Structure 1
Amino acid sequence: MTDRPRSPLAMVLLALLAEQPMHAYRMQRLLKTRQKDAVVNVARSNSVYQALDRLERDGYVAVHEKVAADSAPARVVYALTDAGRDVLWQWMDAALAAPAREFPEFRAVLAVIALHDPAAVADRLEERAAHLETALAAAEAEDDVVAGMGLPRVLMLEHEHFVVVTRAELAWVRGVVADLRSGALTWDADQMRATSAAHDRA
């Protein structure tokens, strides 16, 4: 078994169950209420249920009780097992200590960007910068709200990280756009494609 989290969602679900037993719907609601849906993907309604099924098969969670609901199937309340508690700490330690080998979409497109026209790349990156500016403005506005709530800093570390990383990416994107617009960074896409093809045949 790897020490790394199986998925961010699995780790966060175990963390919720470390607080107290609860059913899937409550977990999904808490993720949204606490705005943790910004760090784990619960866009699909059955994501939580599928993750819990896998955690139960692995022995990390167990059925605590089934609660009857009016005109609906009984809700299954899950509890963290001892094995689940142990693996939660292992996953958290591993995720904190070393970066995961991830394959983000943006880095993937940068790896093949030489095939695209420099002017078009500059246009698209300007659009990206606008999206980043909007996200950063919203996050910074949230800072003011959080400050007024008096929440402990530890509850907002993922928000701090988002702000720092977004600022850094925005500065980098703006710099690349400036270099593209000035001509300091440019290339011939047709030549790049031909060079790549020739290199592959060698």
Structure 2
Amino acid sequence: MAGADEAGTRTPSLRPSGLGLIVLAMLLEEPMHVYRMQKLIRDRGKDKVVNVRQRTSLHQTIARLADNGLVEQIEQPETADNYPERRVYAITDEGRRAAVDWLSALITGTPDEFPRFPAALSVLTMVSPETATRLISERSAAIDAEREAQRSQLSRATVDRVYLLEDEYRIRMLDAEAAWLAEVLTDIRNGALQWTAPPAAE
């Protein structure tokens, strides 16, 4: 019998994922097919926290959940097999337990991803302070635009606050990054943060 993984599930080969958790949460409501899942993710604004631009990523996630016994395809007419997005899936008892375990793990755990922006910051000295100022300023402008868009969308929301917590969190994270970027730009411009880039870097 397989032992429990770090999330407490009985499926050690499958790590908790944001998209996997959202799929399990939706199947807790009712069985559904992939097309409906993708539509609900977009309609509910969950596409801001998980990537479902390509339906293949949703298919792959469901396949992994099925391989680990967390979801199962329920009986459908034979014609459904010719249309993968029309195959209806239901959550299993194991999936119900895993959904709660994953929620607990992702809420209480510390980030273990490797985001691209910190990776770029770690080698910022490969360009000059002037170039870094331009690049960070561009990111700052993009962050400001995203903050305004998120706030506008949140202000128009008509659902209970509990369904908007991820939006509130993202806005707070954007606020924090905007403030930090402003500090970095100030320090570069006033000379408090300086370095010499390699000659061939630019």
- C-alpha contact (below 8 Å) 1:24/1:77 kept by paired residues: yes
- C-alpha contact (below 8 Å) 1:67/1:76 kept by paired residues: no
Q: Provide the secondary structure at the position in 2 that maps to 1:189.
A: coil
**Displacement of 1:190 after TM fit?**
2.9
Is the alpha carbon distance of 1:38 and 1:68 closer, same or farther for their aligned partners in structure 2, counting shifts above 3 Å? farther
What's the counterpart of residue 194 of structure 2?
186
Is the alpha carbon distance of 1:67 and 1:169 closer, same or farther for their aligned partners in structure 2, counting shifts above 3 Å? farther
Counting only pairs closer than 5 Å after superposition, residues 169-180 of structure 1 correspond to structure 2 as: 169-180=177-188
What's the counterpart of residue 20 of structure 1?
30
Structure-2 separation of matches of 1:162 and 1:188: 34
What's the counterpart of residue 2 of structure 1?
6
What's the counterpart of residue 103 of structure 1?
114
What's the counterpart of residue 88 of structure 2?
77
Structure-2 separation of matches of 1:113 and 1:20: 48
- C-alpha contact (below 8 Å) 1:67/1:77 kept by paired residues: no
- 1:155 is aligned, of 159, 163, 187, to 163
What's the counterpart of residue 40 of structure 1?
50
What's the counterpart of residue 64 of structure 2?
54
Is the alpha carbon distance of 1:68 and 1:134 closer, same or farther for their aligned partners in structure 2, counting shifts above 3 Å? farther
1:154-200, Cα deviation, whole Å (9 max, x unpaired): 10000000000000100110111111112121111239x9xxxxxxx
Counting only pairs closer than 5 Å after superposition, residues 87-166 of structure 1 correspond to structure 2 as: 87-146=98-157, 149=158, 151-166=159-174
Amino acid at match of 1:25: Y
Q: Which has the higher helix share?
A: 1
Q: Provide the secondary structure at the position in 2 that maps to 1:46.
A: helix
Determine whether 1:11 maps to 2:21: yes
- C-alpha contact (below 8 Å) 1:59/1:84 kept by paired residues: yes
Structure-2 separation of matches of 1:77 and 1:6: 22
CA RMSD of aligned residues (A): 2.0
Structure-2 separation of matches of 1:67 and 1:19: 22
Structure-1 separation of matches of 2:27 and 2:42: 16
- C-alpha contact (below 8 Å) 2:73/2:88 kept by paired residues: yes
What's the counterpart of residue 168 of structure 1?
176
Structure-2 separation of matches of 1:183 and 1:100: 33
Structure-1 separation of matches of 2:107 and 2:92: 22
Q: Which has the higher strand share?
A: 1
TM-score (norm 1): 0.87
Over 4 Å off, 4+ runs: 67-70
TM-score (norm 2): 0.87
Q: Provide the secondary structure at the position in 1 that maps to 2:89.
A: strand
Among the aligned pairs, what percent are the same residue?
36
1:113-160, Cα deviation, whole Å (9 max, x unpaired): 1222111000000000010010000011112201xx2x2111000000
Structure 1: unaligned runs, 5 residues or longer: 194-202
